[in-house]
Structure 1
Amino acid sequence: MTLGPVEVTKEAVVADIEDQVLLGLDVLSGGNGEQADIFHSKNVISLRGREIPLVQEGKG
C-alpha cells in the first residue's frame, strides 16, 4: 500500500466500512524500528522519515 510518499508492504484485511482507510497497529508500529509518530498538532504521520498528511473525515 502507498501512504503518501511511503510504500508499505503488509498483508491487509478489507473491511466493509464507509471510511476510506483505517490503519491498524500492525502498519503504524512498522517493524525493524520503523514506528510511526502521529502529530495531531501538525496533522501528519511521520513514518520512515517522511511525513504523511493526516486527514480526519467527519471533523468540522
Structure 2
Amino acid sequence: MNKFQKVIMKIGSILLNPIKLISGLNIPEKFLGFVNKHVWFKVLFSLVVTVIVILVWYLTKENGN
C-alpha cells in the first residue's frame, strides 16, 4: 500500500472505532487521580465536550441547508 492508502485506512479506522482509540490512550495516573478527587473538573470537562458536540452539530446542520 502507498502512503495515501495507509492514511485513508487510518482515518477510517479512527472514525469506525473511536472507543478503541480512546481506550488505547496512555493517560497518566496523576491526571486520573486529580480527576477523581475533584468533581468540579468532571463537570467542567463534560460541559466542554457537550458544547463542542452541539457546535459541531449546529455548524454541520447550518451548512447542510
More helix by share: 2
What TM-score do you get using the length of structure 1 for normalisation?
0.25
More RCO (CA 8 Å, sep 6+): 1
